[in-house]
Structure formats: structure tokens, C-alpha cells
Amino acid sequence: MAVETHVLDDDCETITGWGRTAPTLARVRRPRGRSEAADAVRSSGARGAIARGLGRAYGDAAQNAGGTVLDMTGLDRILALDPTAGLVVCEAGVSLHRLTETLLPLGWFVPVTPATRYVTVGGAIGADVHGTNHPAAGSFGRHVTALELLTADGAVTTVRPGTPLFDATTGGMGLTGVILTATLRLLPVETSLMTVDTERAPGLDETMARLAAADRRYGYSVARIDLLARGAATGRAVLAHGDHTPYDALPRRHRARRAPLALRPARLPAPPPYVPGGILGRTAAGLLEELRYRGTPRARTGGLQPLTSFLHPHDGLPHRNRTPARAGTVPRAWSVPRSGTVPYQFVVPYGQEEALRKVVRRIADRRCAASWAVLQRFGAGGPGPLSFPLPGWTLALDLPAGLPGLGAFLDALDEQVAEAGGRVFLARDSRVRPETLAAMYPRLGEFRALRAALDPRSAFTSDLSRRLDL
């Protein structure tokens, strides 16, 4: 999938995040190798440069108004594979989809993957992404054994875990340098299927109790929450728990026995352009959530699903980020269009369950028609000062950008999250305030100090770094 850009002239393009809410102009360079990437950084000028992958960061982390954006998708080679040790060396522009296509037939899989496989390895490291197996597997950076980083002085440095630069790069949103290559530790699998159990929980407390119990039984667990339900049903959810299916567990006549490692991507057709964007208003969204909840059995065990269906639900519906604008309007550069979605993801520590309940109740009382809302649990956090996960509960949701009063509403939620010792996810952020961020990330000063020493001229800069003074 190509980077989402709109060409204005030979030099400048309008670039947005996946949420499509804050487009800005930048010069886009498309290096095909490390020397071209170094040249692009050296010639980036006073506004600096930032690397970009497939454009799946929702907010402004991979934008650079008036500066340079390096589209890294041209560096997409798989350089080496050790099938005995389960290690792969690849360039940063390789997508997780490409890795899956290549590695799955050989019996290997990426150990941590977000809800889409259309992200690059460099982007996954820069955001230190997580999957629904975080309590067991941690986030993406835990499985990187080495990376090559182009730093502000033009040098290429091999960076390894346990060093301050590695820690700052995993979750550092591209601000420590340009990731050129990475060595990843892989997960052995015997089939391309997941064994999945599903169940319903009638309210938030029951949802949390079942997710907590699932940590001991499953590798992957997630709850799809109905944020329009209120009263006793507030926080009701459909839960899915899964594990990679071993070959011996396949039914005797199952077709997967003939090709157990074949990639079986599930994909729904894109909606036609004439389908109105407002078709899922509050009433329709509520009906859809009711049908989803009632249509799920109270408990079902042993279902088999392609791993792409279970692990990558965002890939089933192409262009799910395109909430159309009003008829006849085209978003202008430097403006905030009313089309698009505003994602919101936060985590609060264990022991702060009441804070989670209050946030869920506030969202439900506001009657926000969230197009996506999932709750899951995190295990131990990573060592990076800006890495998002910490042991606790994380809720992710997408809201219509044109919702009246949305900014003030989310600011109030930020305050609740910060007071509880939680934080928001920078890869899904486009609007948090700098002073709030400082309360959420207590090691922010450590990150700023390392950046100042490593890159005193701010060669690596983004809209996000300027907005939050990173």
C-alpha cells in the first residue's frame, strides 16, 4: 500500500496521517539506498527531515510541515534469513505483510504484530507497536536484536538492545535517526491458522475479569467493546482469545492439512464511492453493535481462523480510514478537514480500574459513535522512555473528526488518564497538549537530553515533535 499523499507540484506534497485530520506540506524524497537517505538528510534544510513508512501512524508523527519527509518504502529488501536460529535481517521499508508472505511458508512468523500488517519494520520499531499478545510477548522492540541507524552526523551506527540509543529509538517516533535495517527474532509456527475461543461479557467488570483470566490460558486476547451501551450494559463486549494452531490439532480432513502454512488473507471489498459517509450515525452504529453482540454465541470454543483474520482485523476492510467529507469539499493543505477519524488510545496501570470505568462511562454517556473500540491488557513495559505500554489496561477507539466539542472532551479524558498514572499512544495521537504529555511520560526529560546530545541541530523533526516539544 502506498503512502497516502496528494501531489501539489514537483517538489511538495500534502501529507496526512492515517486519521486524515491534519495535512501539511513537505518535500518528499524517496531514497533507494542508504547513500540517498544520507543525502536527503544532509540537504533537508532548517526544517529537518523525518522518515515515513506506509503512513499508518494516525496522527502527525510522520509529517514535517515545510521540511523533508523520507518515504522509506523503497528500502524493502529482505537481506538474510537464518531458518535455524529464527532470525531475519531486512531493510526498514519492508512491510510486515511482505515478511509474512516470505516467512510463513517456512514456518516462521513475526512475534508481535498490530491490527494491520501494512506497516513497515522501521515504523513498527519507531512506534514500538504492540499486539493482542502483549502480556506474553511484549512490544515489537523486544524482538529486535540489532538495527542500523542513520544519525544526524551522517554516520551509520549499529545499535543493540540495552543501550540508551536503542531504548530511545524503540518508541522514539523516528526522532533519533533513520532506521535502515533491523534484525528480528522470529516465532516458529506450524500452520497459518489460529484456534479461537469467543465469548460475550455483559458489562465492563465482567469484561475485565475475563480478560485477566485469559492471560493464563491464551497467547492472544482482546475485547471488542460496545461504547454506546449504557446502564448495566456499559462496557459489554465480545471477547476473542486465540493461539497459533499446531498441525496435529487440525481436523483430519481439514483442507489446511495439505498446505498448513499457506497464507490465507481475508479481505472485504471496498465500499463503492457513492455510499454516504454518514450512514453509520449514532442510531445505525448502535444497531450494528447490538447485532454484533447478540449475534455472538455466549461461548464458543475451538474455532479455526486464518491468522490474518484474527490478528489483522483492520486489513479486512480496505480504506477503513476514509470517512468521506461533505459533498463537494476537498481538504486543503495546512487545514483540518472535518472528514477522517480521531483515534484515541490510552493505558492506565493495574490498580486504577476505577479510572478506566470512569472513562468508559463518560464515553458511553456522550453517545460517541466509535467505529472501533477494543480493550486489552498489557504486560511489562519496554525500556524506551517514549515506549507506550506499561502494565495495565489499554483502550483504543476511533471517533469521527467532526464530532462537536471533541477536542475539549478528549482533553478532559487526558486529565483523567494522567491523574491515574496513565498515558496516550503517540502513534495514534494528533492533539494531546505538551504539558499533559510531560505528566504522562515521566522519562520525557531523559529523551529530550539524549536527542539534544545526538542531534543538536534537530536534523530529525516532525510535526509531532514540534507540537510536543520533543
Distance, in Å, from the CA atom of 204 to the CA atom of 416, rounded to the nearest integer, reads 18
Residue 92's pLDDT is 98
120-142 confidence digits (pLDDT tens): 999 999 999 999 999 999 999 99
The Cα 90–Cα 182 span in angstroms is 6
Mean pLDDT of 311-329: 56
Residue 324 pLDDT class (50, 70, 90 cuts): very low
* Residue 41: Cβ-neighbour burial (10 angstroms; 0-12, 13-18, 19+): buried
Nine cell digits for residue 230: 449504557
Sheet holding 237-244, edge to edge: 299-306, 193-201, 237-244, 220-225, 372-378, 392-400, 341-349, 423-424
Query: What is the band of 281 on the pLDDT scale with cuts at 50, 70, 90?
Result: low
Angle at 379 between CA 374 and CA 382, to 5 degrees: 110
Q: Give the whole-angstrom CA distance, residue 242 versus residue 303.
A: 9
User: Is 278 a residue whose pLDDT tops 60?
Assistant: no
* Beta bridge mates, 241: 197, 221
- Report the predicted TM-score, pTM, of the whole model to 2 decimal places: 0.90
* Helix locations, 72-156, DSSP H: 96-103, 121-127, 134-137
Among the listed residues 423, 425, 369, the one whose alpha carbon sits nearest the alpha carbon of residue 398? 369
Contact by Cβ (8 Å): 165, 80: no
Pinpoint the alpha helices (H) of 348-404: 353-366
* Cell numbers given for 43: 540537504
CA distances from 429 to 70, 131, 280, 308, 342 (A): 21, 18, 23, 26, 8
Residue 19 vs residue 157, higher pLDDT:
157
In this predicted structure, the answer to whether residue 10 has a pLDDT above a threshold of 60 is no
Q: Are 469 and 51 in contact (CB under 8 A)?
A: no
Res 286: pLDDT: 62
Percentage of the chain lying above the pLDDT 90 cut: 74
SS3 197: strand
Go through the chain and tell me how many residues it has.
Answer: 470
Residue 266 pLDDT: 63
